[in-house]
């Protein structure tokens, strides 16, 4: 299975990465990032609201890897939106990450105020080559259609919640039809479905954990996948998904598990 996807502007993005959430204690995220990079992860997903960009930057520095070897994503938060505010937020993220560019910069949520100006700021950053690619997060079809009315640059990525229990083929297909790479967060549903009998049965057949099956399912839908963890053993297990493949029948049985389970807001409430 390929390890990268090609974005609509020719930039390569890893198919599997480390999702990073708010740290529980000092250096927790720094150590998680350093460990993940040592294991072979090359995609790090953070955001200003997570308040961990400094530790992500430190963890990357600890790795000793060249900057171009690691794909770093960050996001502009709701209260940072607007043209000038977004440019300012980007500069702050750069400073915290201790880098001179971000690979992918996203609008975190489609809030109602200042979206157009925020996207124009992202286009400005892209035109100035200060960011390799720009995109959105938590956008469904109506949000994307509205964006298309004023965008000069089509988003390279749309990141949204994605698991068999929140299987959204319409969103995925709409993105693919418009050459936008889908990226899924919360693939493990925060552990809520770990003992689901369909998952357990498939996991036992492959001698894998149910979490590894969930990650593999997302990847086989060609969706960039970013499971979150700061636990070293889980980080390692979440990356150990390259040596097995789900059959078409197994993929289909997992596709049928959709029950609307969410761990984050429903983007349709942002209309």
Going across the sheet that includes 181-185, the strands are 18-19, 43-45, 71-76, 102-107, 131-137, 157-161, 181-185, 224-225
Distance CA 171, CA 184 (A): 11
Instruction: Give the integer Cα–Cα distance in Å for 271 and 267.
Output: 8
The residue with tokens 């418009």 is 178
The tokens describing 129, both together, are 């080559």
Dihedrals phi, psi of 180, to nearest 5 degrees: -105, 125
What is 205-250 written as a DSSP string? Answer: HHT--HHHHHHHHHHHTT-EE--B---HHHHHHHH--SS----HHH
Q: Active site residue: 41, 50, 140, 185, which one?
A: 50
- Residue 150 annotated to the active site: no
Q: What are the Cα distances from residue 147, in Å, to 41, 75, 119, 135, 154? A: 32, 17, 8, 11, 9
Shortest CA distance to 214 belongs to which of 157, 171, 167? 167
Antiparallel, parallel or unpaired: β 12-14 and 4-6? antiparallel
Rounded CA separation 242/211 (Å): 13
Rounded Cα distance between 19 and 126, Å, is 23
d(CA 63, CA 38): 7
* Residues with a known catalytic role: 50
């Amino acid at each position: 299975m390929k390890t990268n996807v090609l974005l609509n502007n020719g930039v390569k993005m890893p198919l599997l990465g480390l999702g990073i959430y708010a740290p529980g204690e000092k250096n927790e995220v720094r150590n998680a990032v350093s460990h993940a990079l040592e294991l072979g992860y090359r995609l790090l997903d953070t955001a200003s609201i997570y308040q961990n960009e400094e530790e992500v930057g430190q963890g990357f520095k600890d790795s000793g890897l060249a900057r171009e070897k690691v794909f770093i994503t960050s996001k502009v938060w709701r209260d940072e939106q607007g043209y000038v505010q977004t440019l300012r937020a980007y500069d702050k993220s750069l400073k915290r990450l201790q880098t001179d560019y971000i690979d992918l910069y996203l609008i975190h949520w489609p809030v109602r105020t200042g979206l157009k100006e925020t996207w124009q700021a992202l286009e400005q950053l892209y035109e100035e080559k200060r960011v390799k690619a720009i995109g959105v997060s938590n956008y469904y079809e109506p949000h994307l259609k509205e964006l298309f009315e004023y965008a000069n640059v089509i988003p390279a990525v749309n990141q949204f919640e994605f698991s068999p229990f929140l299987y959204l083929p319409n969103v995925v297909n709409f993105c693919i039809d418009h050459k936008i790479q889908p990226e899924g967060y919360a693939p493990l549903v925060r552990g809520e479905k770990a003992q689901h009998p369909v998952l357990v049965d498939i996991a036992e057949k492959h001698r894998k954990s149910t979490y590894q099956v969930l990650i593999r399912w997302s990847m086989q839908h060609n969706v960039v996948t970013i499971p979150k963890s700061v636990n070293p053993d889980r980080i390692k297990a979440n990356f150990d998904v390259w040596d097995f493949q789900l059959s078409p029948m197994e993929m289909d049985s997992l596709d049928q598990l959709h029950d609307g389970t969410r761990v984050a807001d429903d983007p349709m409430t942002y209309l």
